[in-house]
């Protein structure tokens, strides 16, 4: 006993210092660190050992790596006979451990591990050491982990560990232990309890683990840098039960609840990626060693996912980053395939995982989408109130997963505010690995949310709302997308900014258009649409468009308006990636329906812009396919109201029929009423110098067109009319448009109310001539204006836009001046002009016209060539032209002629009638017509009489009968009979271009009743290029007027038989006596003067002093002989005054008496008496002794004039209209070989 007490005392005294020194010595040597023990207490009687203040220094010795406040061991006496440690209690108080992660893969305790690994290994193997430990307790433990690599510190505190019993001794095998573990990691508490028989045969253990609010953020730094996500916050809750049982194959089972709360994950740039309020996982049974997982429920509350696309267009998703796409070059290469295969062989094969999730639910989720790759400000959309539910999720997928979901879509502004009226999206479907079906319903999605994506493509802003029911189905590699029903409502493109680039619908005059819109679409409906990507098929059941409104404009430079809408691309267009070798896409349209459309088209590429307005546009197309089936057709219905730029009522257009695309074919009925054809004015030929101000076209009939290899085959049958046609010359139209002039300069050139072609039939067939048939034509209320311009050209000559220059005027004037002469020569040589024989053209159009009716026509004529200007009109034109054709009757050499009847009025008073036969289509032209006009008032023609005659017309009327006949050989025969009644000219107009004695002409041409009757026969050949009908008429009329001026007596009934157009009365040389011929001519003149009381006459006698000297002496001798006869008669008691003639029989006797009485020197005989001489010698002596006075010739001339006057007066011509002028002498200096003694007659109007 004493020995025992001594041993106890010795132990009590010796064990503490020995134990302390040995622990410090050997511990320091073993660890390579300084180990210190503060106090050791040993109670040998109780086998209790207490060690206090144990510490292990750090590697540098400056600090303590490990500190333990107290270690208490209570050993049992059983340890002695068990030969194994049996401890009733093991207690560790206040352990403090400090660990530092100093570098990648290096810790501050690495030196200790290396020393331990360097210790020699014992090769002795035996049974495992038996032990029995009771009441194992660790109190108030803590651990500080300083991770200098990531600059983070972790702290484990309040560590409590309680293990009531732990033993592998046989006696204790059936004992249950209840361990407990509790601690706070970075302030988050953790507690667990467990029951286990770890050293039984099956080594079964049950453990419960519970942790609340475990903060995961401090561990974010341990996420590998290759994963571009950063954990910003997160709390972990767990309440798990772990069941472990070691059998032939180990079994581990996990069940319980896992929860993550307040999780926030960001990307490498600290941009939010994923966040959620809570993720609850109800784990029914998980057996990881068997690959079995059964989750009864997964509930995800308030997840928020942030998706982002950077400016380069890269999609940034959780877990993705720059390093994710390409491995780091520093990463070691994976082991070789052979090594991998060997490793697989070394491990037992593991069963595939089988996962079952009974239910999955996502509530209150949201997705934030930010796209920085768009132009300008980033696109920012959000999905809110996202809910997703799924059931019976299996892996492997033995059955489809059925899921449903819904969410709200809304944009996010720059301040982070969301729209108050979100769009909604609902979906449901099922999916497995081989097939999937998803049906989605989208409601009230505003199209303006797409603005950020359209901003880089178009300038205008898109507005509207989308509703759609869509679906996607996948079966293997085949993917089909469909639209059950989709609607776009109130679609509009609006101006982003004001300016010339923004031509709105309202400004263009589109009815009902909103302000500031470029394009509008009331509604677009799409139904029963399928897109099969594998088969490249698109099928549209129905496409409906309601109230589309569009403005189409082409600017002066040829740019279309939409080109200004497009944003210029900064990069070159990428080459097409289309698979040229793949099958072509096919499109099938069941029905396309358009209602209440409106289009305004403006084309400013020409000098005069074109404007076309289309309203009430309706269209329906069915069963269309692309590519089109060869020979296939589909029904088309189109109707619209069409208007131009004016205020007139719009016309209408309707088509109902079939259309084919391969080849192009049209076959249907067209109903068009008052279509504004004048909108085509800007597209008329540039050299056409006219403006089509108004023209309404109407057609009602059938149209067939088929494009063939040889060309089109067309047939048009129906009724055609051109109504309300107004045409102006380009200059007049431009002047009126600019507001510079009104009145006649801005008047219409041509117009009519109606031109109707009833029963029109047009046939176009390749290799056959064009065929045109018209049953009846009516032209009503038509008007035409003919203007002679200041340069003398007719306005109709300039309709082809021939430039008029000074040189051109000179050429025209020369041509006009030479035309009459050339025409006259051509008329004389008609027989020499033979038209060339031309072979008939087999492709000449075949044209057949039925009767042509003319109703209420008018023609206005204006002449600017004369000053003042002249205007007249031809009105109330009515008539009819019977049927005619461009084809000769079978066996006939000439065309059938149509009967023409036309009547009207000139200047509202003169009746005009035209009749005859004509065929306008005959080649060459043939006609036989007569025209008659009665009582045309002439005073309005004063401008012409002033210009060409210098006198205005005070009164007068014109009647005219003309006849024109043109034979097929081109021979023209025409007669023009003019009757002027009571024509009277006014006084001479000063400054007039010409002055003619028109009063004399009228006086000469008019009869005693004031009527002038002129007949102008004309003939010529139209085949003669120098022949001009107008020139011939002007030449004849001009010659008539000139003859009245230069040879007036030729107009007095050919008074001198045409032999002396100068009006001379012949006399015998030296005589003033009128001969027989002279008296006869004067009788005719006297008759004409009596019939023309407005004419007065002056008679002037002529004589030649030298040429008539001997004749005058001879006349004196004759007078002496006559005087001798009168004396003799007086002696005989007779009347001497009655003696006027000396007869030839008595001449010799009277001459002898005269000789005897003459006091002259006479030949005498020898006795001194006068000799008897022959008559000739007596005449010679008498003549030689007659002495003439100097004025003898003058007196002779005067006596001649008096003789003529007296004779005309004797013929009842009033003496007050007869005058004798002073006699005139003709000298040798002015001698003319044809001169003869005469008296000249001069006419003048009174």
How confident is the model over 360-389, as pLDDT tens digits?
999 999 998 889 888 888 889 999 999 999
Cβ neighbours, 10 Å, residue 163: 19
Pick from 926, 857, 931: nearest CA to 901: 931
Tell me what the mean pLDDT of segment 494-518 comes to: 79
- Inter-residue contact 597 to 548 (CB < 8 Å): yes
* pLDDT per residue as tens digits for the range 60-75: 888 898 999 999 998 8
Tell me, what's the pLDDT at 336? 42
- Which residue(s) pair with 93 in the sheet? 70, 139
Burial 863-894 (b: 16+ CB within 10 A, else e): bbbbeeebebbbbebebebbbbbbeeeeeeee
| Residue 1038, CA atoms < 13 Å, CB-side half-sphere | 11
Q: Provide mean pLDDT across the span 286-305.
A: 90
Rounded to an integer, what distance in angstroms lies between the CA atom of residue 634 and that of residue 510?
Answer: 31
Per-residue model confidence (pLDDT) at position 807: 44
Q: Is 1210 helix (H, G, I), strand (E, B) or coil?
A: helix
Is the per-residue pLDDT at 1114 higher than 80? yes
CA of 148: how far to CAs of 105, 107, 145, 155, in Å?
11, 10, 9, 14
Query: Tokens in use for 618?
Result: 């309706």
Between CA 874 and CA 1196 the distance in angstroms is 61
Among the listed residues 678, 492, 511, the one whose alpha carbon sits nearest the alpha carbon of residue 596: 511
Cβ atoms within 10 Å, residue 249: 9
The pLDDT, as a whole number, for residue 741 is: 38
- The three-class DSSP label of residue 547 is strand
d(CA 795, CA 785): 9
Average pLDDT over residues 25-31: 86
904 vs 892 pLDDT, higher one: 904
1057 contacts 1078 by C-beta, under 8 angstroms: no
Tokens 């001519």 found at: 1081
Kindly report the length of the chain. Answer: 1246
Q: What is the pLDDT of residue 818?
A: 41
Residue with tokens 């099958």: 583
Percent of the chain having pLDDT more than 90? Answer: 29
User: Please, is 142 exposed, middle or buried when counting C-beta atoms within 10 Å of its C-beta (0-12, 13-18, 19+)?
Assistant: middle
Mean pLDDT for the stretch of residues 382-411:
92
**What are phi and psi for residue 618, nearest 5 degrees?**
-125, 140
Structure tokens of 1018? Answer: 């004309």
Categorize the per-residue pLDDT at 733 as very low, low, confident or very high, splitting at 50, 70 and 90: low
Tally helices (H) and strands (E) across the chain. Answer: 17, 50
Taking only the tens place, the pLDDT of each residue in 938-954 is 888 778 777 777 788 88
- Banded model confidence at residue 1178, pLDDT cuts 50, 70, 90: confident
User: How far apart are the C-alpha atoms of 380 and 384, rounded to whole Å?
Assistant: 13
Q: What is the DSSP letter of 455?
A: T
CA distances from 1017 to 338, 696, 824 (A): 125, 45, 12
Q: Coil, strand or helix: which one is 746? A: helix
Looking at residue 585, the DSSP 8-state letter turns out to be: P
Cα-based torsion angle of the residue sequence 1107, 1110, 1113, 1115 in order, rounded to the nearest 10 degrees: -70
Contact assessment for residue 145 and residue 153, using Cβ atoms and an 8 Å cutoff: yes
Lowest mean pLDDT among 88-102, 690-704, 1009-1023, 1167-1181: 1009-1023
Domain boundaries, the chain: 1-112+129-199, 201-319+351-420, 458-564+585-661, 844-887+896-1051, 1064-1245
What is the pLDDT, as a whole number, of residue 1016?
Answer: 64
**Token pair recorded at residue 60:** 């540098």
Predicted local distance difference test score (pLDDT) of residue 719: 96
Pairing of strands 354-371, 304-309: parallel
812 pLDDT exceeds 60? Answer: no
- The mean pLDDT of the chain is 81
Place of tokens 């990881």: 288
pLDDT band with cut points at 50, 70 and 90 for residue 546: very high
φ/ψ region of 1168 (left if φ > 0, alpha if ψ in -120 to 50, else beta) reads left
Q: Are 1085 and 1051 in contact (CB under 8 A)?
A: no
- pLDDT beyond 90 at 508: no
Residue 333, pLDDT score: 43
DSSP 937-1003: E-GGGHHHHHHHHSEEEEEEEEEEEEEEEE-TTSEEEEEEEEEEEEEEEEEEPTT-S----HHHHHH
List the CATH code of the domain at 1064-1245: 3.30.1330.60
Report helix, strand or coil for 828.
helix
The three-class DSSP label of residue 266 is strand
pLDDT digits (tens, 9 = 90+) for 559-572: 888 888 888 765 55
Q: Which residue has the tokens 């300083």?
A: 146
Can you give the pLDDT at residue 243?
Answer: 81
Region 1034-1051: mean pLDDT is 60
């Amino acid at each position: 006993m004493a020995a025992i007490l001594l041993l106890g005392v010795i132990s009590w005294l010796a064990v503490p210092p020995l134990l302390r020194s040995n622990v410090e010595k050997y511990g320091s040597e073993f660890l390579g660190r300084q180990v210190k023990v503060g106090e050791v207490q040993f109670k040998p009687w109780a086998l209790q050992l207490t060690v206090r203040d144990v510490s292990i220094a750090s590697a540098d010795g400056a600090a303590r790596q490990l500190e333990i406040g107290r270690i208490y061991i209570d050993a049992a006496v059983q340890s002695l006979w068990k030969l194994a440690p049996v401890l009733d209690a093991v207690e560790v108080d206040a352990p403090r451990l400090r660990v530092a992660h100093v570098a990648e893969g290096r810790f501050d305790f690495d030196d200790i591990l290396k020393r331990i690994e360097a210790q020699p290994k014992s090769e002795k193997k035996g049974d495992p050491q038996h032990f029995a430990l009771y009441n194992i307790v660790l109190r108030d433990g803590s651990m500080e982990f300083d991770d200098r690599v990531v600059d983070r510190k972790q702290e484990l505190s309040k560590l409590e560990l309680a293990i009531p019993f732990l033993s592998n001794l046989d006696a204790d095998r059936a004992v249950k232990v209840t361990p407990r573990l509790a601690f706070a990691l970075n302030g988050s508490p953790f507690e667990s309890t467990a029951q286990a028989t770890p050293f039984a045969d099956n080594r079964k253990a049950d453990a419960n683990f519970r942790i609340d609010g475990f903060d995961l953020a401090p561990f974010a730094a341990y996420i590998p840098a290759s994963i571009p996500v950063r954990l910003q916050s997160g709390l972990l809750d767990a309440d798990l039960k772990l069941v472990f049982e070691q059998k032939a194959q180990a079994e581990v089972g996990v069940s319980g609840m896992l929860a993550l709360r307040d999780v926030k994950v960001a990307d490498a740039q600290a941009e939010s990626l994923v966040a959620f309020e809570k993720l609850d996982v109800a784990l029914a049974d998980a057996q990881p060693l068997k690959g079995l997982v059964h989750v009864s429920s997964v509930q995800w509350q308030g997840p928020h996912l942030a998706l982002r696309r950077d400016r380069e267009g890269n999609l940034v998703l959780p877990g993705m980053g720059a390093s994710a796409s390409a491995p780091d070059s520093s990463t070691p290469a994976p082991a070789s395939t052979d090594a991998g295969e060997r490793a697989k062989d070394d491990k037992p094969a593991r069963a595939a995982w089988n996962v079952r999730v009974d239910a999955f639910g996502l509530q209150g989720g949201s997705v934030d989408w930010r796209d920085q790759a768009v132009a300008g400000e980033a696109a920012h959309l959000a999905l809110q109130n996202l809910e997703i539910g799924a059931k019976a999720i299996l892996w492997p997928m033995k059955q489809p997963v059925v899921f449903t979901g819904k969410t709200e879509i809304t944009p996010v502004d720059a301040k982070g505010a969301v729209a108050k009226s979100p769009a909604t999206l609902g979906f449901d479907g099922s999916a497995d690995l081989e097939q999937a079906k998803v049906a989605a319903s989208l409601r009230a999605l505003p199209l303006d949310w797409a603005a950020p994506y359209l901003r880089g493509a178009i300038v205008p802003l898109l507005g509207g709302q989308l509703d759609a029911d869509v679906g996607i189905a996948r079966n293997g590699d085949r993917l089909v997308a469909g639209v059950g029903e989709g609607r776009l409502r109130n679609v509009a493109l609006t101006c982003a900014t004001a300016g010339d680039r923004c031509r709105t619908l309202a400004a263009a005059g589109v009815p009902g258009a909103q302000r500031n819109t470029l394009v509008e679409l009331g509604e677009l409906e799409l139904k029963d649409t399928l897109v099969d990507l594998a088969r490249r098929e698109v099928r549209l059941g129905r496409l409906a468009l309601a109230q589309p409104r569009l403005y189409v404009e082409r600017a002066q430079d040829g740019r279309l308006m939409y080109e200004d809408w497009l944003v210029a691309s900064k990069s070159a267009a990428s080459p097409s990636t289309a698979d040229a070798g793949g099958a072509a896409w096919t499109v099938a349209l069941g029905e396309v329906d358009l209602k209440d459309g409106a289009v305004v088209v403006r084309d400013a590429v020409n000098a005069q812009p074109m404007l076309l307005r289309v309203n009430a546009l309706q269209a329906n197309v069915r069963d269309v396919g692309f590519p089109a089936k060869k020979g296939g057709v589909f029904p088309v219905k189109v109707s619209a109201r069409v208007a131009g730029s004016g205020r007139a009522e719009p016309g209408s257009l309707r088509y109902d029929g079939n259309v084919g695309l391969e080849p192009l074919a049209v076959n249907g009925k067209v109903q068009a009423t008052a279509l504004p054809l004048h909108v085509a004015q800007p597209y008329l030929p540039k050299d056409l110098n006219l403006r089509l101000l108004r023209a309404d076209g109407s057609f009602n009939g059938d149209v067939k067109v088929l494009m063939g290899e040889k060309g089109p085959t067309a047939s048009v049958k129906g009724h055609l009319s051109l109504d309300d046609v107004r045409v102006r010359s380009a200059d007049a139209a431009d002047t009126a448009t600019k507001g510079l002039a009104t009145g006649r300069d801005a008047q219409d050139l041509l117009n009519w109310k109606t031109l109707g072609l009833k029963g029109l039939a047009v046939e176009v067939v390749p290799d056959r001539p064009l065929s045109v048939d018209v049953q009846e034509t009516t032209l009503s209320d038509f008007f035409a204006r003919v203007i002679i311009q200041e340069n003398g050209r007719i306005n109709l000559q300039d309709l082809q836009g021939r430039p008029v220059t000074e040189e051109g005027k000179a050429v025209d004037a020369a041509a006009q001046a030479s035309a009459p002469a050339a025409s006259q020569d051509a008329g004389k040589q008609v027989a020499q002009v033979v038209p060339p024989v031309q072979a008939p053209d087999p492709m000449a159009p075949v044209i057949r016209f039925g009767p042509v009716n003319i109703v209420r026509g008018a023609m206005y004529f204006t002449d600017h060539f004369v000053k003042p200007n002249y205007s007249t009109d031809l009105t109330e034109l009515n008539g009819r032209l019977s049927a005619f054709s461009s084809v000769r009757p079978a066996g006939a050499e000439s065309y059938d002629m149509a009967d023409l009847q036309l009547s009207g009025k000139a200047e509202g008073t003169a009746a005009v009638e035209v009749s005859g036969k004509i065929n306008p289509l005959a080649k060459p032209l043939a006609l036989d017509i007569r025209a008659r006009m009665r009582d045309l008032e002439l005073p309005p023609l004063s401008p012409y009489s002033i210009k060409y005659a210098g006198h205005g017309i005070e009164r007068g009327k014109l009647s005219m009968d003309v006849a024109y006949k043109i034979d097929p050989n081109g021979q023209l025969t025409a007669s023009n009979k003019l009757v002027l009644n009571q024509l009277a000219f006014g006084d001479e107009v000063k400054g007039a271009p010409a002055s003619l004695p028109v009063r004399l002409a009228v006086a000469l041409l008019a009869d005693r009743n004031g009527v002038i009757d002129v007949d102008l026969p004309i003939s010529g050949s139209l085949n003669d290029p120098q022949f001009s009908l107008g020139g011939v008429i002007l030449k004849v009329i001009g010659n008539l007027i000139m003859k009245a001026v230069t040879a007036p007596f030729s107009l007095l009934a050919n008074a001198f038989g045409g032999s002396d157009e100068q009006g001379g009365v012949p006399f015998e040389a030296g005589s003033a006596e009128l001969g027989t011929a002279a008296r006869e001519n004067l009788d005719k003149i006297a008759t004409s003067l009596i019939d023309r009381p407005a004419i007065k006459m002056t008679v002037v006698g002529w004589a030649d002093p030298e040429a008539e000297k001997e004749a005058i002496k001879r006349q004196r001798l004759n007078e002496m002989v006559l005087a001798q006869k009168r004396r003799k008669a007086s002696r005989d008691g007779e009347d001497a005054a009655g003696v006027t003639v000396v007869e030839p029989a008595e001449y010799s006797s009277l001459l002898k008496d005269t000789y005897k009485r003459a006091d002259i020197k006479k030949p005498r005989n020898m006795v001194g008496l006068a000799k008897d001489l022959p008559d000739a010698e007596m005449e010679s002596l008498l003549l030689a002794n007659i002495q003439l006075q100097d004025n003898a010739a003058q007196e002779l001339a005067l006596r001649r004039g008096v003789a003529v006057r007296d004779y005309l007066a004797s013929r009842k011509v009033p003496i007050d209209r007869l005058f004798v002028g002073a006699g005139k002498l003709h000298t040798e200096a002015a001698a003319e070989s044809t001169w003869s003694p005469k008296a000249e007659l001069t006419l003048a109007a009174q």
